[in-house]
């Protein structure tokens, strides 16, 4: 472990977030160091283990630069533009070795934390791949991104993943901020609905839809809702990131719903595209 752990509460980082970023990067590095090769395919992806690891190395560097205030244009926030930017960056960056990539992933996570644990107060970061956000939300974005791809690597290597309810809770500032941006306009058009989303043992937030507009409010909604969804935290994150089938999660009892319009629950995951 590094000597900067005690600095986690400094700067704009919420308590525990810096440690979660560091430990997640180290968990990913340990996964990479456990494999004899990086050419294995990643389930549900066109990428190999080496390509996922290279993407994480590049993304952590990008986030560290943004935290430091450096402009780094990377797509326009649409899934298509991000896919193009990812493909271009992987073409230009040829490293696919497990050990070098593990080192870059952890080094760039540390570079990010070195900036974030300094005296600079929270404030807007330069334009991120998913639009403007505060630096503290950028840190939550970094953790979310690493957890999603760390889960992919764990599946490919048949190892336990590193997502847990505490880390999911630290992802929520990013998830709540980005939900309106990743709403599927075709799916939300003409829909009026008020949801309460409860993560079992964790956060509660409200999502209201009217005439295609999506409003997300942290904490229990102030107004009456029509559908309450209770969901296990890890399941929520994996569904939100497009890694788990929501219908299977419902069948397994990981998602429960009630209210005056409980039939709105199955529609909820279809309203957003994975960030």
Q: How far apart are CA 160 and CA 158, in angstroms?
A: 7
Q: Which helix (H) or strand (E) holds 34?
A: none
Q: How far apart are CA 166 and CA 30, in angstroms?
A: 20
For residues 125 and 135, is the Cβ–Cβ distance under 8 A?
A: yes
For 195, how many CA atoms within 13 A lie in the half-sphere containing its CB? 29
Strands 204-210 and 255-258: unpaired
What does the DSSP assignment read for 163-212? --HHHHHHHHHHHHHHTTTTB-HHHHTT--EEEEEEETTS-EEEEEEETT
Q: What is the pLDDT of residue 11?
A: 65
Q: What is the pLDDT of residue 6?
A: 35
Structure token digits, residue 201: 């043992």
pLDDT per residue rounded down to tens, the chain (275 residues): 333 333 344 467 899 999 999 999 999 999 999 998 999 999 999 999 999 999 999 999 999 999 999 999 898 888 899 999 999 999 999 999 999 999 999 999 999 999 998 777 678 888 899 999 999 999 999 999 999 999 999 999 999 999 999 999 999 999 999 999 999 999 999 999 999 999 999 999 999 999 889 999 999 998 899 999 999 999 999 999 999 999 999 999 999 999 999 999 999 999 999 87
DSSP-based three-state secondary structure for 248: helix
| Cβ neighbours around 230 below 10 Å, total | 17
Q: What is the pLDDT of residue 88?
A: 96
Domains along the chain with CATH numbers: 5-178 (1.20.120.450), 185-271 (3.30.1050.10)
């Amino acid at each position: 472990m590094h000597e900067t752990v005690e600095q986690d509460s400094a700067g704009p980082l919420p308590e525990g977030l810096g440690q979660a970023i560091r430990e997640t990067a180290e968990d990913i590095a340990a996964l990479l160091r456990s494999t004899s090769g990086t050419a294995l395919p990643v389930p549900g992806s066109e990428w190999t283990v080496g390509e996922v690891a290279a993407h994480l190395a590049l993304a952590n560097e990008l986030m560290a630069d943004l935290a430091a205030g450096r402009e780094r244009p990377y797509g326009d926030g649409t899934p298509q533009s991000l896919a193009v930017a990812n493909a271009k960056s992987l073409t230009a960056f040829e490293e696919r070795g497990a050990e070098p990539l593990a080192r870059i992933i952890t080094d760039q996570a540390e570079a990010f934390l070195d900036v974030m644990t300094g005296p600079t107060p929270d404030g807007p970061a330069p334009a991120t791949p998913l639009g403007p956000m505060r630096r503290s939300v950028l840190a939550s974005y970094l953790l979310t991104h690493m957890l999603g791809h760390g889960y992919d690597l764990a599946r490919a290597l048949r190892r336990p993943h590193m997502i847990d309810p505490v880390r999911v809770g630290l992802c929520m500032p990013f998830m709540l901020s980005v939900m309106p941006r990743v709403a599927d306009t075709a799916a939300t058009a003409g829909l009026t609905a008020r949801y309460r989303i409860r993560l079992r043992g964790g956060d509660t937030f409200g999502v209201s839809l009217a005439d295609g507009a999506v409003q997300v409010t942290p904490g229990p909604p102030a107004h009456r809702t029509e559908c309450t969804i209770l969901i296990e935290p890890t399941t929520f994150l994996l569904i939100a990131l497009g890694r788990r089938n929501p219908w299977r999660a419902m069948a397994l009892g990981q998602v429960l719903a009630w209210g005056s319009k409980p039939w709105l629950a199955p529609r909820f995951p279809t309203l957003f595209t994975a960030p």
